[in-house]
Amino acid sequence: MTTEENFPAASPAFILVETQLADNIGSAARAMLNFGLDRMRLVNPKPEWPSDRASALASGADKVLKAAKVCRSLTEATADLQVVYATSARPRDLVRRIITPEQAGIEMRAHVAAGRQVGVLFGPERMGLVNDDLAVVDAVITVPVNPEFASLNLAQAVLLIGYEWMRHGVEVPATELRSNESDIANRQHLMSFVDRLVAELDEAGFLRVAQMRPAMIRNIHALLYRTQATDQEVRTMHGMLTELVTKRLAKRKPR
C-alpha cells in the first residue's frame, strides 16, 4: 500500500484538521497535486475513510488520498515536524506572527531546502482552527481578502498556499511570447514590411494630407513594432498586402 513515507519529504505536509466533508478532502487533494504536493494528513476526519466521494472530487489526484496519513490527534500529526504553520482568517487573543501566503511560500522553501520537516494546518470548514491549535504553530498564514467577507472554503485555502509554494520554487517569467517555431522578426525584416506598407499607402492616397503624414507614419511604426511580430507573421502580412495590391491593380485595368 502507498503511504506518505513512500514520498520524499521535499515538500510540506498539508494537515486537514477534523474535516467535515469528503468532498472537501477530495477537492483539497486535487488542489495539492496541482502544485506538486502529495503529503496529506487527516486529523480525525468526520467522513468515513477511505471515501469514494473524496476520490470522485479529487479528479485524478487519487495518489494523494491513498497515501493520506490518518491521525488521532494534532499532536500525532505534527510529531515529526520541525516547522508548523496554520491558516486562519480570524484574529485571536494570542501573540502570534501573522504572515501572507507569499511569505509562507518563501519560508517553506527555505526550510525544506535546509532539510527541515514542514507542515501547514487547515481547520474544519465551519469554525476553523481553535486557539489551542494556533498556540503551537510557528506562524499564522492569513490571506488578504475582503474584510467584510473573508470566507474561503478548504480547497481554496489549500490552492492558495500550494500556489505560493510552487511559485517560489520554479523560475517562471512574468510574461512571455509563445511564438511556436517562428522567432520574433528582426528589425530589418519588420522595417522592410513597414516601408512597403507606407509606399502602398502613399500610392493608394491614404497619406495624402501632408501635415498629418509624419504622425500617421509614426503611429504605423509604433503599432507594428509593439506587436513583437514573428517572422511568419511578417511574411503573412506581406502576403496580405500583395493580395490587396493585386486586387486593387486588377480593378484599374480596362475591361
Judge whether residue 61 has pLDDT over 70: yes
Helix axes 187-204, 213-225, angle to 10 degrees: 140
What mean pLDDT do residues 236-245 have? 92
pLDDT, tens digit, for every residue of 18-44? 999 999 999 999 999 999 999 999 999
Give the model's pLDDT for residue 81: 96
Higher confidence at residue 174 or residue 6? 174
| Boundaries of every domain in the chain | 4-167, 187-252
Assign residue 17 a region (left: φ > 0; alpha: ψ between -120 and 50; beta: otherwise).
beta
Q: Which CATH architecture has domain 4-167?
A: 3-Layer(aba) Sandwich (3.40)
The per-residue pLDDT for 92 is 66
Number of residues written out for the chain: 255
Indicate if the pLDDT at residue 49 is higher than 70: yes
C-alpha cell at 13: 505536509
Total-model pTM: 0.74
The C-alpha cell that represents 99 in the structure block? 504572515
What is the reported pLDDT for 10? 82
Question: pLDDT digit string (tens) for 169-179?
Answer: 887 677 766 66
